[in-house]
Amino acid sequence: MIRAISRRQFLATLIFSGGILGAVKACLASIAESPIDNLRNVIKRVPMSAPVRDLGKSYLSKSKTNVSIEALENRLAPLFRHEPGFGDSFPLFAKQLADDFEAGRLFEWRGWSLADTEAALVALAHLTRK
């Protein structure tokens, strides 16, 4: 079931996602064989501005699941497996974001509704780049 969101929530999420997806896109030039290496390349490129740090901290404090570096890497790395036939992209990551929205797995932050997977990625960046 898709939850209705306001235009403001949609636009804010779209803008924020652009920053995260920009980091993913920047990583595409150096796709590795290992999903964990691809994930770590993306993490290096997440812009660590104050709002991004705040989002990471908020996710870590509110999460009901294990949010250690190891647990987050284990959860997220499979989404960064290179899929032959998709060129330089991570279709599993994009699909997971869409699935999160469709299933209502959202993280609410400052009036924004973010895919839980996207917020977890930011939290991992925060943990590894303090």
Mean pLDDT of all residues belonging to the chain: 79
129 or 86, greater pLDDT: 129
pLDDT at 32 over 90: no
Selection from 14, 13, 46 nearest residue 27 by Cα: 46
**Residue at 1: amino acid letter:** M
Contacts of 68 (CB under 8 A, 6+ apart): 127
Residue 80 is given by DSSP the state G
Lowest mean pLDDT among 13-17, 97-101, 102-106: 13-17
Is residue 75 over pLDDT 80?
yes
Question: The whole model's pTM is what?
Answer: 0.73
Between 90 and 74, whose confidence is greater?
A: 74
Give the rounded distance of the alpha carbon of 66 from its chain centre. Answer: 16
Domain ranges within the chain, ordered by starting residue: 7-128
Question: Coil, strand, or helix at residue 41?
Answer: helix
Residue for token digits 């949010």?
67
